[in-house]
Amino acid sequence: MTSFVQQDVALQDSAGASVLQARREADDPHSPVARFGARNPLKLDAGVELSHLQIAYQTYGEPNAARSNAILVCHALTGDQHAASLNPVTGKPGWWETLVGPGKPIDTERFYVICANVLGGCMGTTGPASTNPLTGQPYGLDMPVVTIRDMVNAQAMLLDHLGIDKLLCVAGGSMGGMQVLQWAASYPERVFSALPIATGARHSAQNIAFHEVGRQAVMADPDWRGGRYLAEGVTPHRGLAVARMAAHITYMSDQSLHNKFGRRLQNRDMPTFGFDADFQVESYLRHQGESFVQRFDPNSYLYVTRAMDYFDLAADHGGVLANAFRGSKTRFCVVSFTSDWLFPTEDSRAIVHALNASGANVSFTEIDSDKGHDAFLLHEPELTAITRGFLDSAARAFGLPAARQA
Protein backbone atom coordinates (compact mmCIF):
# COMPACT_ATOMS: atom_id res chain seq x y z
CA MET A 1 0.00 0.00 0.00
CA THR A 2 1.34 3.45 -0.92
CA SER A 3 2.25 5.52 2.16
CA PHE A 4 1.01 9.07 2.62
CA VAL A 5 4.64 10.25 2.40
CA GLN A 6 5.00 8.61 -1.02
CA GLN A 7 1.62 10.05 -2.08
CA ASP A 8 2.63 13.54 -1.03
CA VAL A 9 5.95 13.30 -2.90
CA ALA A 10 4.12 12.16 -6.02
CA LEU A 11 1.63 14.99 -5.73
CA GLN A 12 4.38 17.53 -5.26
CA ASP A 13 6.25 16.22 -8.30
CA SER A 14 3.15 16.20 -10.50
CA ALA A 15 1.43 19.45 -9.64
CA GLY A 16 3.62 21.44 -7.28
CA ALA A 17 3.77 22.49 -3.65
CA SER A 18 0.33 24.11 -3.76
CA VAL A 19 -1.31 20.74 -4.41
CA LEU A 20 0.60 19.29 -1.47
CA GLN A 21 -0.59 22.13 0.76
CA ALA A 22 -4.16 21.72 -0.44
CA ARG A 23 -4.00 18.00 0.34
CA ARG A 24 -2.89 18.78 3.89
CA GLU A 25 -5.69 21.32 4.33
CA ALA A 26 -8.26 18.55 3.82
CA ASP A 27 -7.32 16.96 7.17
CA ASP A 28 -5.40 19.65 9.03
CA PRO A 29 -6.63 23.06 7.91
CA HIS A 30 -5.26 26.47 8.82
CA SER A 31 -8.50 27.38 10.58
CA PRO A 32 -10.48 26.31 13.65
CA VAL A 33 -12.12 22.89 13.43
CA ALA A 34 -15.19 21.44 15.15
CA ARG A 35 -15.11 17.67 15.47
CA PHE A 36 -18.14 15.49 16.16
CA GLY A 37 -17.56 11.96 17.33
CA ALA A 38 -19.23 8.69 16.47
CA ARG A 39 -22.03 9.37 18.96
CA ASN A 40 -23.09 12.51 17.08
CA PRO A 41 -23.38 11.50 13.41
CA LEU A 42 -24.89 13.63 10.66
CA LYS A 43 -27.92 12.02 9.01
CA LEU A 44 -27.66 12.54 5.26
CA ASP A 45 -30.37 12.78 2.61
CA ALA A 46 -28.75 9.74 0.96
CA GLY A 47 -30.14 7.67 3.82
CA VAL A 48 -26.88 7.01 5.65
CA GLU A 49 -25.13 8.53 8.64
CA LEU A 50 -21.75 10.25 8.47
CA SER A 51 -19.84 9.87 11.71
CA HIS A 52 -16.57 11.47 12.81
CA LEU A 53 -17.67 14.66 11.06
CA GLN A 54 -15.16 17.51 10.92
CA ILE A 55 -16.13 21.09 10.08
CA ALA A 56 -13.48 23.73 9.33
CA TYR A 57 -14.52 27.34 9.80
CA GLN A 58 -13.35 30.89 10.27
CA THR A 59 -14.80 33.61 12.47
CA TYR A 60 -14.35 37.35 12.21
CA GLY A 61 -15.23 39.81 14.94
CA GLU A 62 -16.50 38.89 18.40
CA PRO A 63 -19.87 37.69 19.71
CA ASN A 64 -21.70 40.09 21.99
CA ALA A 65 -22.75 39.05 25.50
CA ALA A 66 -26.08 37.70 24.25
CA ARG A 67 -24.45 36.04 21.21
CA SER A 68 -27.12 37.77 19.12
CA ASN A 69 -24.89 39.51 16.56
CA ALA A 70 -23.92 36.44 14.53
CA ILE A 71 -23.98 36.41 10.72
CA LEU A 72 -23.38 33.19 8.80
CA VAL A 73 -21.71 33.66 5.42
CA CYS A 74 -22.17 30.73 3.03
CA HIS A 75 -19.64 30.21 0.27
CA ALA A 76 -20.16 29.27 -3.37
CA LEU A 77 -19.01 26.20 -5.31
CA THR A 78 -15.25 26.82 -5.30
CA GLY A 79 -15.10 29.02 -2.20
CA ASP A 80 -14.10 28.13 1.33
CA GLN A 81 -14.16 29.40 4.90
CA HIS A 82 -11.61 32.14 4.18
CA ALA A 83 -14.15 34.83 3.28
CA ALA A 84 -12.12 37.68 4.74
CA SER A 85 -8.70 36.22 5.48
CA LEU A 86 -5.73 35.08 3.42
CA ASN A 87 -6.18 31.72 1.74
CA PRO A 88 -3.47 29.42 3.14
CA VAL A 89 -3.03 27.62 -0.18
CA THR A 90 -3.01 30.52 -2.64
CA GLY A 91 -1.96 33.37 -0.34
CA LYS A 92 -4.70 35.50 -1.91
CA PRO A 93 -7.13 37.73 0.04
CA GLY A 94 -10.48 36.39 1.18
CA TRP A 95 -13.07 35.81 -1.52
CA TRP A 96 -15.65 38.30 -0.08
CA GLU A 97 -13.49 41.09 1.23
CA THR A 98 -15.58 43.47 -0.88
CA LEU A 99 -18.36 43.05 1.71
CA VAL A 100 -16.83 41.49 4.84
CA GLY A 101 -14.43 43.34 7.13
CA PRO A 102 -14.04 46.27 9.51
CA GLY A 103 -16.39 49.08 8.52
CA LYS A 104 -17.72 47.14 5.54
CA PRO A 105 -21.39 46.18 5.12
CA ILE A 106 -20.85 42.88 6.95
CA ASP A 107 -18.96 44.78 9.61
CA THR A 108 -16.61 42.61 11.65
CA GLU A 109 -16.30 45.39 14.25
CA ARG A 110 -20.03 45.09 14.86
CA PHE A 111 -21.00 41.54 13.93
CA TYR A 112 -19.69 38.06 14.73
CA VAL A 113 -19.20 36.58 11.26
CA ILE A 114 -18.93 32.83 10.75
CA CYS A 115 -18.00 31.06 7.51
CA ALA A 116 -17.62 27.28 7.26
CA ASN A 117 -16.18 25.11 4.53
CA VAL A 118 -19.12 23.12 3.15
CA LEU A 119 -19.65 19.41 3.65
CA GLY A 120 -17.97 17.67 0.71
CA GLY A 121 -15.42 20.47 0.40
CA CYS A 122 -11.66 20.13 0.54
CA MET A 123 -10.46 22.81 2.95
CA GLY A 124 -10.92 20.95 6.23
CA THR A 125 -14.58 19.93 6.37
CA THR A 126 -15.24 16.25 5.78
CA GLY A 127 -15.15 15.51 2.06
CA PRO A 128 -13.75 12.97 -0.40
CA ALA A 129 -10.17 14.17 0.15
CA SER A 130 -10.47 13.73 3.94
CA THR A 131 -9.04 10.67 5.63
CA ASN A 132 -11.67 8.05 6.34
CA PRO A 133 -11.09 7.14 10.01
CA LEU A 134 -12.25 3.58 9.32
CA THR A 135 -9.59 2.92 6.66
CA GLY A 136 -6.85 5.49 7.20
CA GLN A 137 -7.11 6.36 3.50
CA PRO A 138 -8.88 9.24 1.70
CA TYR A 139 -12.62 8.68 1.37
CA GLY A 140 -12.62 9.09 -2.40
CA LEU A 141 -15.91 7.81 -3.75
CA ASP A 142 -16.63 6.02 -0.47
CA MET A 143 -17.79 9.43 0.73
CA PRO A 144 -21.61 9.49 0.56
CA VAL A 145 -23.12 11.94 -1.92
CA VAL A 146 -24.28 15.07 -0.09
CA THR A 147 -26.95 17.72 -0.68
CA ILE A 148 -27.37 21.41 0.07
CA ARG A 149 -29.62 20.42 2.97
CA ASP A 150 -26.85 18.18 4.33
CA MET A 151 -24.46 21.13 4.15
CA VAL A 152 -26.91 23.31 6.08
CA ASN A 153 -27.57 20.62 8.69
CA ALA A 154 -23.81 20.36 9.25
CA GLN A 155 -23.62 24.15 9.66
CA ALA A 156 -26.43 23.95 12.24
CA MET A 157 -24.30 21.48 14.20
CA LEU A 158 -21.43 23.96 14.04
CA LEU A 159 -23.63 26.79 15.36
CA ASP A 160 -24.74 24.58 18.24
CA HIS A 161 -21.06 23.94 18.95
CA LEU A 162 -20.39 27.69 18.95
CA GLY A 163 -23.37 28.45 21.18
CA ILE A 164 -25.32 30.42 18.56
CA ASP A 165 -29.07 29.88 18.90
CA LYS A 166 -30.27 32.43 16.35
CA LEU A 167 -28.56 34.21 13.49
CA LEU A 168 -29.03 37.87 12.74
CA CYS A 169 -28.52 36.98 9.07
CA VAL A 170 -27.50 34.24 6.68
CA ALA A 171 -25.90 35.63 3.51
CA GLY A 172 -24.36 34.16 0.38
CA GLY A 173 -24.28 34.14 -3.39
CA SER A 174 -24.69 31.39 -5.99
CA MET A 175 -24.43 28.03 -4.16
CA GLY A 176 -24.11 30.15 -1.02
CA GLY A 177 -27.50 31.60 -1.86
CA MET A 178 -28.92 28.09 -2.14
CA GLN A 179 -27.70 27.45 1.40
CA VAL A 180 -29.33 30.70 2.53
CA LEU A 181 -32.69 29.56 1.14
CA GLN A 182 -32.28 26.11 2.68
CA TRP A 183 -31.50 27.68 6.06
CA ALA A 184 -34.67 29.78 5.85
CA ALA A 185 -36.72 26.71 4.95
CA SER A 186 -35.17 24.23 7.41
CA TYR A 187 -34.49 26.49 10.39
CA PRO A 188 -36.80 29.53 10.12
CA GLU A 189 -36.77 30.00 13.89
CA ARG A 190 -32.98 30.40 13.82
CA VAL A 191 -32.78 32.93 10.96
CA PHE A 192 -33.87 36.52 11.58
CA SER A 193 -32.89 37.74 8.10
CA ALA A 194 -31.68 36.20 4.87
CA LEU A 195 -29.69 37.66 1.97
CA PRO A 196 -29.66 35.27 -1.04
CA ILE A 197 -27.73 36.78 -3.95
CA ALA A 198 -27.48 35.62 -7.59
CA THR A 199 -29.10 32.28 -6.90
CA GLY A 200 -32.14 30.10 -7.53
CA ALA A 201 -34.48 27.78 -5.65
CA ARG A 202 -33.46 24.95 -7.96
CA HIS A 203 -30.72 24.19 -10.45
CA SER A 204 -31.81 24.55 -14.06
CA ALA A 205 -31.37 21.88 -16.74
CA GLN A 206 -28.77 24.12 -18.43
CA ASN A 207 -26.76 24.42 -15.23
CA ILE A 208 -26.93 20.68 -14.62
CA ALA A 209 -25.68 20.19 -18.18
CA PHE A 210 -22.67 22.46 -17.64
CA HIS A 211 -21.83 20.62 -14.43
CA GLU A 212 -22.05 17.27 -16.17
CA VAL A 213 -19.55 18.43 -18.79
CA GLY A 214 -17.18 19.35 -15.99
CA ARG A 215 -17.64 16.08 -14.14
CA GLN A 216 -17.08 14.07 -17.31
CA ALA A 217 -13.88 16.03 -17.99
CA VAL A 218 -12.58 15.06 -14.55
CA MET A 219 -13.61 11.41 -14.82
CA ALA A 220 -12.23 11.08 -18.38
CA ASP A 221 -8.74 12.02 -17.18
CA PRO A 222 -6.73 8.76 -16.97
CA ASP A 223 -5.30 9.92 -13.65
CA TRP A 224 -8.75 10.03 -12.01
CA ARG A 225 -8.33 6.26 -11.41
CA GLY A 226 -11.99 5.71 -10.49
CA GLY A 227 -11.71 8.39 -7.81
CA ARG A 228 -8.71 6.72 -6.12
CA TYR A 229 -6.04 9.10 -7.43
CA LEU A 230 -4.88 10.20 -3.96
CA ALA A 231 -4.28 6.62 -2.85
CA GLU A 232 -2.37 6.01 -6.09
CA GLY A 233 -0.24 9.16 -5.87
CA VAL A 234 -1.56 11.03 -8.92
CA THR A 235 -4.10 13.76 -9.62
CA PRO A 236 -6.41 14.31 -12.63
CA HIS A 237 -5.29 17.90 -13.01
CA ARG A 238 -5.91 18.09 -16.76
CA GLY A 239 -9.54 17.06 -16.45
CA LEU A 240 -10.18 19.40 -13.52
CA ALA A 241 -8.55 22.28 -15.40
CA VAL A 242 -10.87 21.77 -18.37
CA ALA A 243 -13.86 21.59 -16.01
CA ARG A 244 -12.84 24.88 -14.45
CA MET A 245 -12.32 26.54 -17.82
CA ALA A 246 -15.82 25.56 -18.97
CA ALA A 247 -17.42 26.64 -15.70
CA HIS A 248 -15.58 29.95 -15.59
CA ILE A 249 -17.17 30.99 -18.88
CA THR A 250 -20.58 30.73 -17.21
CA TYR A 251 -19.50 33.07 -14.42
CA MET A 252 -18.86 35.91 -16.84
CA SER A 253 -21.04 37.71 -19.37
CA ASP A 254 -20.50 38.17 -23.10
CA GLN A 255 -20.00 41.87 -22.44
CA SER A 256 -17.45 41.32 -19.68
CA LEU A 257 -15.48 38.90 -21.87
CA HIS A 258 -15.59 41.41 -24.72
CA ASN A 259 -14.51 44.29 -22.47
CA LYS A 260 -11.70 42.30 -20.92
CA PHE A 261 -10.34 40.51 -23.99
CA GLY A 262 -12.24 41.14 -27.20
CA ARG A 263 -10.40 39.32 -29.99
CA ARG A 264 -6.99 40.58 -28.91
CA LEU A 265 -4.03 38.27 -29.46
CA GLN A 266 -1.80 37.10 -26.60
CA ASN A 267 1.75 38.50 -26.86
CA ARG A 268 1.85 38.31 -30.65
CA ASP A 269 0.99 40.37 -33.69
CA MET A 270 -0.20 37.53 -35.92
CA PRO A 271 -1.93 34.20 -35.34
CA THR A 272 0.37 31.19 -35.16
CA PHE A 273 -1.85 29.03 -37.38
CA GLY A 274 -1.59 26.38 -34.68
CA PHE A 275 -3.28 25.44 -31.43
CA ASP A 276 -1.34 27.49 -28.94
CA ALA A 277 -3.25 30.16 -26.96
CA ASP A 278 -3.36 32.75 -29.73
CA PHE A 279 -6.10 34.82 -28.10
CA GLN A 280 -5.97 36.53 -24.73
CA VAL A 281 -9.21 34.88 -23.69
CA GLU A 282 -7.68 31.45 -24.35
CA SER A 283 -4.64 32.27 -22.23
CA TYR A 284 -6.89 33.58 -19.46
CA LEU A 285 -8.99 30.42 -19.36
CA ARG A 286 -5.91 28.21 -19.34
CA HIS A 287 -4.54 30.20 -16.42
CA GLN A 288 -7.85 29.83 -14.57
CA GLY A 289 -7.75 26.07 -15.06
CA GLU A 290 -4.10 25.68 -14.09
CA SER A 291 -4.41 27.77 -10.92
CA PHE A 292 -7.62 26.04 -9.84
CA VAL A 293 -6.12 22.56 -9.77
CA GLN A 294 -3.54 23.76 -7.25
CA ARG A 295 -6.18 24.51 -4.62
CA PHE A 296 -9.21 22.29 -5.25
CA ASP A 297 -9.76 18.55 -5.01
CA PRO A 298 -11.18 16.92 -8.17
CA ASN A 299 -13.52 14.58 -6.29
CA SER A 300 -14.80 17.52 -4.23
CA TYR A 301 -15.69 19.17 -7.52
CA LEU A 302 -17.83 16.14 -8.39
CA TYR A 303 -19.54 16.11 -5.01
CA VAL A 304 -20.28 19.80 -4.65
CA THR A 305 -21.55 20.23 -8.22
CA ARG A 306 -23.82 17.22 -7.67
CA ALA A 307 -25.18 18.82 -4.49
CA MET A 308 -26.12 21.91 -6.49
CA ASP A 309 -27.76 19.77 -9.18
CA TYR A 310 -29.94 17.99 -6.63
CA PHE A 311 -31.14 21.26 -5.10
CA ASP A 312 -34.87 21.82 -5.69
CA LEU A 313 -36.52 23.50 -2.72
CA ALA A 314 -40.06 23.28 -4.12
CA ALA A 315 -39.76 19.53 -4.69
CA ASP A 316 -39.16 19.11 -0.96
CA HIS A 317 -42.44 20.92 -0.22
CA GLY A 318 -45.06 19.30 -2.40
CA GLY A 319 -43.87 21.04 -5.57
CA VAL A 320 -44.92 24.48 -4.26
CA LEU A 321 -42.04 26.80 -3.46
CA ALA A 322 -44.20 29.07 -1.28
CA ASN A 323 -44.75 26.13 1.09
CA ALA A 324 -41.05 26.19 1.94
CA PHE A 325 -41.49 29.60 3.57
CA ARG A 326 -45.07 29.33 4.86
CA GLY A 327 -45.40 31.16 8.18
CA SER A 328 -41.80 32.34 8.13
CA LYS A 329 -40.97 35.47 10.11
CA THR A 330 -37.57 35.79 8.43
CA ARG A 331 -36.83 39.05 6.60
CA PHE A 332 -35.52 38.51 3.06
CA CYS A 333 -33.53 40.65 0.65
CA VAL A 334 -33.15 38.98 -2.77
CA VAL A 335 -30.59 40.35 -5.23
CA SER A 336 -29.90 39.53 -8.90
CA PHE A 337 -27.77 40.99 -11.70
CA THR A 338 -28.93 41.90 -15.19
CA SER A 339 -26.08 40.12 -17.01
CA ASP A 340 -26.11 36.93 -14.92
CA TRP A 341 -27.17 34.12 -17.27
CA LEU A 342 -26.18 31.33 -14.87
CA PHE A 343 -28.80 32.41 -12.31
CA PRO A 344 -30.85 34.94 -14.28
CA THR A 345 -33.19 37.44 -12.69
CA GLU A 346 -36.20 35.23 -13.46
CA ASP A 347 -34.83 32.75 -10.90
CA SER A 348 -34.77 35.47 -8.25
CA ARG A 349 -38.26 36.65 -9.22
CA ALA A 350 -39.57 33.12 -8.72
CA ILE A 351 -38.16 33.21 -5.18
CA VAL A 352 -39.72 36.62 -4.54
CA HIS A 353 -43.12 35.51 -5.87
CA ALA A 354 -43.03 32.46 -3.60
CA LEU A 355 -42.07 34.59 -0.61
CA ASN A 356 -44.90 37.01 -1.37
CA ALA A 357 -47.33 34.12 -1.66
CA SER A 358 -46.21 32.79 1.71
CA GLY A 359 -46.67 36.19 3.35
CA ALA A 360 -42.99 36.69 4.06
CA ASN A 361 -41.27 40.07 4.43
CA VAL A 362 -39.23 40.46 1.24
CA SER A 363 -37.45 43.14 -0.77
CA PHE A 364 -35.91 42.62 -4.19
CA THR A 365 -33.33 44.42 -6.32
CA GLU A 366 -32.03 43.69 -9.79
CA ILE A 367 -28.65 45.39 -10.14
CA ASP A 368 -27.61 46.67 -13.56
CA SER A 369 -24.17 45.15 -14.15
CA ASP A 370 -22.19 43.83 -17.11
CA LYS A 371 -20.01 41.56 -14.92
CA GLY A 372 -22.12 38.43 -15.17
CA HIS A 373 -22.66 35.95 -12.35
CA ASP A 374 -19.35 36.84 -10.66
CA ALA A 375 -20.68 40.33 -9.95
CA PHE A 376 -21.59 39.25 -6.42
CA LEU A 377 -17.87 38.70 -5.72
CA LEU A 378 -16.70 41.95 -7.28
CA HIS A 379 -16.89 45.62 -6.38
CA GLU A 380 -20.48 46.63 -7.08
CA PRO A 381 -21.39 49.88 -5.28
CA GLU A 382 -25.12 49.15 -5.42
CA LEU A 383 -24.65 45.72 -3.83
CA THR A 384 -22.51 47.32 -1.12
CA ALA A 385 -25.22 49.89 -0.37
CA ILE A 386 -28.04 47.31 -0.41
CA THR A 387 -26.19 44.94 1.90
CA ARG A 388 -25.33 47.70 4.36
CA GLY A 389 -28.87 49.07 4.41
CA PHE A 390 -30.49 45.65 4.80
CA LEU A 391 -28.21 44.58 7.64
CA ASP A 392 -28.53 47.93 9.44
CA SER A 393 -32.31 47.63 9.29
CA ALA A 394 -32.28 43.99 10.42
CA ALA A 395 -29.90 44.78 13.28
CA ARG A 396 -32.15 47.58 14.55
CA ALA A 397 -35.22 45.36 14.38
CA PHE A 398 -33.30 42.60 16.17
CA GLY A 399 -32.45 44.99 19.00
CA LEU A 400 -28.77 45.51 18.28
CA PRO A 401 -27.12 48.92 18.85
CA ALA A 402 -26.93 51.24 15.88
CA ALA A 403 -23.75 51.28 13.84
CA ARG A 404 -21.14 53.78 14.94
CA GLN A 405 -20.82 56.73 12.62
CA ALA A 406 -17.42 57.25 10.99
Binding residues for substrate are 244, 374
Give the sign of the dihedral formed by CA 221, CA 222, CA 228, CA 231: negative
User: Exposed e or buried b for every residue in 49-73, given b needs 16+ CB within 10 A?
Assistant: ebebbbbbbbbbbebeeeebbbbbb
Let me know if 373 is a catalytic residue: yes
Give the sign of the dihedral formed by CA 166, CA 95, CA 374, CA 54: negative
Q: Where are the alpha helices (DSSP H) in 252-344?
A: 254-260, 280-292, 298-310
Let me know if 45 is a catalytic residue: no
Residues facing 194 on adjacent strands: 170, 332
Q: Parallel, antiparallel, or unpaired for β 169-173 and 70-74?
A: parallel
d(CA 362, CA 171): 14
Among the options 68, 130, 174, 336, which is catalytic? 174
Q: Parallel, antiparallel, or unpaired for β 49-50 and 42-43?
A: antiparallel
Q: Please report, in range form, the residues annotated as the binding site.
A: 244, 374
Work out the burial of residue 275: count CB atoms within 10 Å of its CB; fewer than 13 is exposed, 13-18 middle, 19 or more buried. Answer: exposed
Q: Residue 305 CB: number of other CB atoms within 10 A?
A: 25
Let me know if 392 is a catalytic residue: no
Residues facing 210 on adjacent strands: none
Amino acid at 340: D
Q: Residue 384 CB: number of other CB atoms within 10 A?
A: 14
Among the options 80, 309, 340, 347, which is catalytic? 340
Annotated catalytic residues are 174, 340, 373
